[in-house]
Structure formats: C-alpha cells, structure tokens
Amino acid sequence: MSREQEELVQKVKALMTRKFGSAGPEAMRKLFDAYDRDGDGNIDARDLEGLLKDAGVGNGLTRGAWIKGIISAMDESGDKRIDWAEFSKAVG
C-alpha cells in the first residue's frame, strides 16, 4: 500500500471513530451511508469530495486530484462511482 493510500485509510478510519465511536464494520457502513447522499448505493465524486473534506484529506486545490485518483483506484466496475463492496474492500 502506498503512503497516500495509508494516509487516506487512516484519515477515513479516524473520521469513522469521530462520527460513530469506532472504526469497525458497522461504523464503516454508517459512514458509507452518510456520504451516499442520494441513497443510490454509490459514492460519486461529489459525495467523495464531502467525505475527503470531513476527513481532512487534501485541500481545496488538491482534493480534485485525490478524488480522481481514488475513484480510479477503487472503482472496479468502471462506473465512476464507488459501491459498498468497493468501499469496504479498500477501507476495511
């Protein structure tokens, strides 16, 4: 795992702990659902931007590059969105 990937996972787990009291599977699902703002079962670029901002990943100038890289790395189905299976595999 690259340094950037490790940083991302650490910050997302810290966000889970702040919001839901743990970084376990139940908290991970709650976090996913909280950022799946339209409830379609996917986190798209706009949803991911909010998650990254809240987790303290990147800044206004670099967050777009983070989003593009994360979706490219995590999106196994090629639909430019992250579903629960992709999210839990990457963060878990």
Question: So what's the pLDDT on residue 59?
Answer: 92
- C-alpha angle 49/61/12, rounded to 5°? 40
Neighbours of 2 (CB within 10 A): 8
Query: Any idea which fold 3-91 has?
Result: Recoverin; domain 1 (1.10.238)
| Per-residue pLDDT, 1 | 62
Residue 92 has pLDDT above 90, yes or no: no
What does the pLDDT look like over 27-48, one tens digit per residue?
999 999 999 999 999 999 999 9
Over residues 74-91, the mean pLDDT reads 94
Grouping H, G, I as helix, E, B as strand and the rest as coil, residue 38 is coil
Q: Is the pLDDT of residue 86 over 90?
A: yes
